[in-house]
Structure 1
């Protein structure tokens, strides 16, 4: 089913919710081939996100970097947020964020 859309699967008479990310059957949930009970408590959120998006487990070092990126990207401060909420164009919002880059921020 890899590379097919849910709409294609539904048109072929298959369950529309089946994906290559997960397989669900009675008493069994597999995420990318791993039983869910093996993942719970053993993966961080960033490791799970990478597994879902990329289909493979990430190294501890790369997971730490991804976790840092997620934390830093959570908030770009009041100026960038204000630009985005004031109704200016997307390009202007991006430019505002670029202008905030300096020795400490970014």
Structure 2
């Protein structure tokens, strides 16, 4: 079996699901891939979709940054040419 065949079967399967089922299936696939990933120890290796109700706001104000944070952001922008806001939960938190 080739990777192309596996992807084709996955696409066919996912096309039959509603959005909620599709998100659940995609998260299961991501978790399975994460378990065997060479990058499994990296914090962004397994990014899962969660419901908006599970996101809890904090009081972080991006307009008020320490000089250290500002330099880190600048370095990140220069080196990687990208920045994205991120909500992080541990996998055990999502399970609750």
Higher strand proportion (structure 1 or 2): 1
Q: What TM-score, normalized by structure 1, do the two folds share?
A: 0.27
Higher helix proportion (structure 1 or 2): 2
Q: Which has the higher contact order (CA 8 A, sep 6+)?
A: 2
Q: What TM-score, normalized by structure 2, do the two folds share?
A: 0.29
